[in-house]
Amino acid sequence: MNEASLPAVSIRSLILLTTFLLGINLLGCDTTATEPSTEIVVEAYLQAGATLPPVRLSRTVSVNEPYDPTANAVRDAEVRVQQLTSDSTVAATISYSERDSVPGLYTPDVASLVQPQTTYRLQVQTNDEASLTSTTTVPGPIEVVETRNDTAAYQGPNQPAFTVDLPRRGGNSQNVFTFTTVSLLDFQNTPDSTLRQALTPFYADGFDPEEDSLASLRTTSSGLLNEGNFERNADDTITIDLPWLAVAFFGPNEIGVNVVDDNYYDFLRSQQVQQGGFAPGEIPNVIEHVDGGTGIFGSYAQAVRPVLIQSPNRTGNGATEASSSRTPPHGSP
């Protein structure tokens, strides 16, 4: 190699090295996540102590199509729910039939109470031979053993508080709660203008009649909270203060203390992440436990107590013009 040839060697070396380095980039492996296709969606929520709920079956739709559970209903399926013993043998089988009036909504043929601490298995066979199964173990029972300040002035010194006797859990696992507040005002027979006057200040200021409906504020939910958030009392109960943020309407409200099963927990926590748990634009799929389909076959235990929240500026129930409806808007679907 002489001096004169050096530049040529250098340039050739550069080109070779650059080509080699660029080639490294072509060696990467492709990702092989499952491409989604239409799936059967199951929706059922078993509540401890209540009757077996209906089961709704539908199909997922392409993201560009509107979703309508009736139009996308799975019709004429064989649906049954089996109650299992602790050793997973079948203790009882409850068959379901589709309601003629609501396509895709299947109800039990006989009424049967959901037992806490019991496992249920859903089995679905569609008329195109697709099968779907899912299992839930119902938590509970849960009981509110004491209520303090069940009539309270909004943001006053005496917050409503509930002492709750918890369901027992095995091992180191803990109960997971979600708290609901349901306004018992009569939404059907009360004018919107009157209902708006019953909104607490925070919700009243954020309410946009062009975008929002008052009914959408009737139920507020806390999100998922671990039992570890609360200190145990001497008798192993816990005491929960009602945060004022949970109260959207003055007047009569019903507070629900709910404990969810693993299926419900996984579904709720992952669906919350879809709303913004990752970096902007990143949306993971929900964690679900349905073999052969998607959706939720979950369960929960609930204890409810009524409270009366008074407006600090008014006397009485704080919603003087709005009459109350003692029936919560919904329990099971």
Partner 1 sequence: MVRFHFCLIALLAALLLPSPVLAQETASIRGYVRDASTGETLLQANVLLQGAGKGTATNNSGYYTLQGIEPGTHVLLVSYVGFQTYTEKITLEPGEERRLDVELPPAELEADEVVVTGEGENEEIERQIGTDRLSTAAITELPSVLQPDVFRSLSLLPGVSTASDYSSNLYIRGGSPDQTLVLLDGTTVYNPTHFFGFFSTFNPDAIKDVQLYKGAYPAKYGGRLGSVVSIYNKDGNRRETTGGLSLGLLASRAYVEGPYGGSDEDPAGSYMVAVRRSTLEPVLAALRSAGGDGIPESFSFYDVNAKVNYEASPNDKLSLSFYGGQDFLVIGPQEDSQFDVNYGNQTVSADWTHLFGDRVFSTVTLTGSRYRSSPTANLAGTQFVQENGVNDLSLNADLEYTPNEQHTVESGLQASTMAFELTNTFDDNTIFDQRISGRRVALYVQDTYQPTSAWTLKGGVRGTYFSRGNFWRLAPRLSVDYNLTSDVQLQAAYGRYHQFLTLETSQLFTAFDTWLMANEGVPPSSSDQVALGVKASLGADWQLEVEGYGRTMRDLFEQDPFLPDNAGVPYPERFHFGDGRAYGVEVLLRRKEGTLNGFLSYTLGRTERRFPNINTNESGEPQYYPPNYDRTHSLTLAANYEVTDQWRLTSTFNYNTGKAYTKPKERYELVGDPFQPQVESRNVLVSPFNNARLPAYHRLDLGVARTGRLFGVADYELQVQAINAYSRRNIWFYQYTSESDGTLDRTETPQIPYPIPNLSLSLTF
Residue list 233-252, contact with partner 1 (CB under 8 A): 241, 243-247
Among 200, 253, 311, 317, indicate the residue that binds partner 1 (CB under 8 A): 200
Dihedral (Cα; 83, 84, 85, 88), 10-degree rounding:
180
Half-sphere exposure of 97 (CA within 13 A, CB side): 6
Instruction: Provide the minimum distance between the beta carbon of 17 and partner 1 in the complex, in angstroms, as a whole number.
Output: 5
**In whole angstroms, what is the distance from residue 223 CA to residue 177 CA?**
8
State the nearest-atom distance from the C-beta of 325 to partner 1, in Å: 13
The residues, any chain, with a CB within 8 Å of residue 75's CB and separated by 6 or more, are 98, 103, 104, 127
Whole-number Å distance between alpha carbons of 305 and 184: 12
Cβ of 196: how many Cβ atoms within 10 Å?
A: 15
160 by Cβ neighbours in 10 Å (0-12 / 13-18 / 19+) ranks as buried
Among 77, 142, 176, 308, binds partner 1 (CB under 8 A): 176
Identified binder of partner 1 from the candidate list 117, 221, 323, 325, rule CB under 8 A: 221
Tell me the window of 78-86, 130-138, 215-223, 303-311 that interacts with partner 1 (CB under 8 A): 215-223
The residue from 93, 174, 313, 327 that contacts partner 1 (CB under 8 A) is: 174
Report whether 237 contacts 161 (CB < 8 A).
no
Asked if 272 touches partner 1 (CB under 8 A), the answer is yes
Contact flags string 85-104 toward partner 1, x per CB under 8 A: --------------------
CB of 85 to partner 1, least distance (A): 27
Q: Which 291-310 positions form the footprint of partner 1 (CB under 8 A)?
A: 294-296, 300, 302
What is the footprint of partner 1 within residues 21-60 (CB under 8 A)? 21-22, 24-25, 27-29, 31-39, 41, 43, 45, 47, 56, 58-60
Distance CA 333, CA 323 (A): 25
